Amino acid sequence: MPARCPGGHLAATSVIVVSRKLNLPRDGQGAEVAETAVTEVLAELAELEDPKMRAVNEKHGDDHGVNLGKLRAIAKRLKTQQELSRELWATGDSAARLLATLICRPKAFERAELDAMLREARTPKVHDWLVNYVVKKSPHAEELRLAWSADPDPVIAGAGWALTTERVAKKPAGLDLAGLLDVIEAEMKDAAPRLQWAMNSCLAQIGIDHAEHRARALDIGERLEVLKDYPTPPNCTSPYAPIWINEMVRRQS
């Protein structure tokens, strides 16, 4: 992949009890237990908040200071809990929403629910995790790909292009790759940042995976020069499409 390189703890017994009780109906005692679980998880996330990490994240548009490795550890402990995931998402807190994407059951969401969640995802990291960890695993992914790609909001359209990149890599049958390159060639240069990033990723994926389109993908990347000067940390691959394509093809040979 290219560079983008863009407290205390709950007692284990209380987490297990919460996990079991969340199978109860979402009324009466079940709803009360779910609310208690959310309160406890939010308290744990708050204790993990690091002001220095928040300052770094805020430079990239994110508004949390929780170490993602520690957040993943919480998710691993909680395991899949769909109702708790929904409750955490509803808080609007970014760290809670990131955790929600890790403990949910992606196939349990309706299409309209996923659409609403994407439009509520205020920050880049929440947006990316929702698309990558939830929507891509949903039976509604293809319908949403088509709808979002045509959305006038560039952030929503970027999600559509991210799903298109997934199809280019894993299920390209039926895609008009030449047509996608036409759109990228015409629109990527002046696209809003998140949409531009997603279109560039699709351009690179086409060039990497489809040799018959590689020369054109390289040519488009070279002429448009999108992300050519993107700061790339050591040991990471530049997101500039010509470098990205050539490096990945080299590794595959």
Q: Is the pLDDT of residue 22 over 90?
A: no
Query: How would you label 163-173 residue by residue, b for 16+ Cβ within 10 Å and e otherwise?
Result: bbbbbbeeeee
Q: CB–CB of 174/137 below 8 Å?
A: no
Q: What is the pLDDT of residue 54?
A: 87
Q: Give pLDDT tens digits for 169-202.
A: 999 999 999 999 999 999 999 999 999 999 999 9
Compute CA distances 236 → 143, 192, 229, whole Å: 33, 24, 14
Among 10-19, 33-42, 219-228, the minimum mean pLDDT is found in 10-19
Ordered by start, the domain boundaries in the chain are 33-138, 140-252
Stated as kind and residue range, the H or E segment containing 41 is helix 29-47
Q: How far apart are CA 90 and CA 86, in angstroms?
A: 6
Short-list 112, 111, 117, 145, CA closest to 129: 117
Residue 250: count of CB within 10 angstroms of its CB: 8
Q: How far apart are CA 166 and CA 148, in angstroms?
A: 14
Q: Give pLDDT tens digits for 68-112.
A: 999 999 999 999 999 999 999 999 999 999 999 999 999 999 999
Q: What is the pTM of this model?
A: 0.84
Q: How many residues does the chain have?
A: 253
Q: What is the pLDDT of residue 35?
A: 61
Q: What is the pLDDT of residue 62?
A: 85
